[in-house]
Structure 1
Amino acid sequence: MKKRLIIVSIITSLLLVAVFFLAVSWGSNTIAFPDIVKTLMGDGTPLQEVTIFDIRLPRIIVAMIVACCLSTAGCILQSVTRNELAEPGMIGINAGAALAVVFLISYGQTSYYDKMGDMALFMMPIVAIIGALLSGGLIYRLSYKKGVSPTRLILTGIGVNVGINAVISLYQLNMSKGDYNQVLTWISGSLWGSSWKFFFLITPLVLIFLGLVIWKAKILDVLDLGDEIAIGLGVKVEKERKTLFFYAIALAALATSVAGNIAFLGLLGPHIARRLGGPVHRRQIPLAALVSCIIIILADSISRNVFSPIEIPVGITISIIGVPYFIYLMMKE
């Protein structure tokens, strides 16, 4: 098993490097691979340096941070609910964060990220976490009945997700056409406008929560065995479930604050990682992050270039892959 994990890790890492270079190269201004290496080493032309360091590289790095957040949140939710179909986009966590950020970016604004003030930009992660916590708290409270049933948590989350998306749709009806189009693109999941500001804004918090999740990896392994066994092993199930649920909410909110509502990424990464590396979370979480990074970078490259000059939100491209896989899992279950 250990040998297989090493081989899988090497292959996925090489795939990530290949997809990274493809994303840096592919665009309206195509850059050859040797020129990418030269530019990264500080020997590129001014145009190549601007294209890579100011436009493409921050977008790719932010995409990777988002992938790590959503895949880790998916790993947590699938263990906490003991349901393979759980992911932050499906049970209303992303929607709660999205609703809060939609209020922020549309309040008194006539434009999008390009003219959004630094203070509003700084507030986005905070507002997203508040929105996600409110929706997550509502889901947890509605599903609580002498403890939280994993199945009830999932079904309640789906209902809350539908309700929040309906509120977002109603709110959009009162927007101007320009604001409506911009917010619609954002809630569909988009990396447009990503910059180094976004990276420095959320990375410290992301690293803290990822560290906390890895620290709780053994608890996640025990929760996978069921409540009775977990209690028998001395785990305070309700307390740990609340704590881990909070970590999942925070990570999903941070991702949503800079990339909008990207669904299914928290489903695809953990599932593929579980199949490749097994259910132990110390292995699954890093592998799920690698797989999700490959998916989002490749999907974003396709979204940017296939229908150029029109750019499709990356969330739509990922959903095209995710929906058939979700249906397959649902039929299997």
Structure 2
Amino acid sequence: MKMNEQIQTLIANSRLAFVQGKYQEALDIAKDAIKVDPNNADAYLCAGNANMSFEKYDIAIKYYQKAVECEPENGDRYFHLGYALATNSQSAEAIAIFAKADEIGCSPEVTGQLYKILGMLCFDLKKYDDAVVNLCKAETIIGIDIEILQRKALSYGMLGEYTKGLEVANQIKLFAPSEYLGYRIAKEILLLQNRNEEAEEEIDRAERFSRPCMDFFIDKISLELAKYTQDKEKEHYRRALAYINDSLYAIKPEVQNVVDAYINAAEVYVQLEDGDMAANCLGAAENPIDSFNEGFSINKMESKENAGPIMRPSDREINRAVEEARRKYGDRRIEQTGYRVYYDYC
């Protein structure tokens, strides 16, 4: 077999192993290809991709650098190097490499991703003007992309271009109407303008139209706590507790969600000077799965003198709680899990 045919076969086999998730095999074949032809950029690219899958970013960067050396006039090679640098938290170096890729020119399928990632890096570095420019370029090539819209809206907000930011937030609501993201971004931009009542109205709209999610409940809880700092009415603490409780009914909670809910409830009870309930919630957080499955409630229980033995809620009580959540958040969004928390072994 001629060397050219041999190297092409090795590269094809490495790529096939990679898409099948056989990353070690892909890496081994790529190394064989490099031995056959040390000047083949695709061989180094395959080796770099495999190392990226193993999160060995420093090694991947070295392979991508070799690919650049092999083909210094190919912008795609610079893109892969820049992506690895960005993933390795070397943002400044990544931006410089992406700029070189843009200068040389990349293939159409890479160019949109280049501008998108470059825009996201600029956003993270608080270079909001540059972020907007690059994100708009990416949008022109890629089309509608929620990640692009999200960062573009927030960039406009940080630049003080609130009207443009709200327009983009409304685009997100249009393209993802059941997601809370667009409402949350609109809320953040309104808060930047101290339009607090309108920000609260945005959350209320989300309650009616978007699927319940943990971010929504976090914002509702934060809102009640912020209101307390203004008027010192302890009713806000009680409402915060109600939202913490709702978050465990309206969504299927992960174990960490349950722990956070119990700890947050304990902190609120400390502010209410209710040491017993604070201690109960902290105790539940120490064993969240059993506490949740046995029906532990963060709501205020009867005093110990009057209370009977603590038992798991009846099916009727569970149904009543779920129905209350359904009434608030819509039948299509509620899933009764029978007070179960599922282990995540991943």
TM-score when scaled to structure 2?
0.23
| Higher RCO (CA < 8 A, seq sep 6+) | 1
TM-score when scaled to structure 1?
0.23
Greater gyration radius: 2
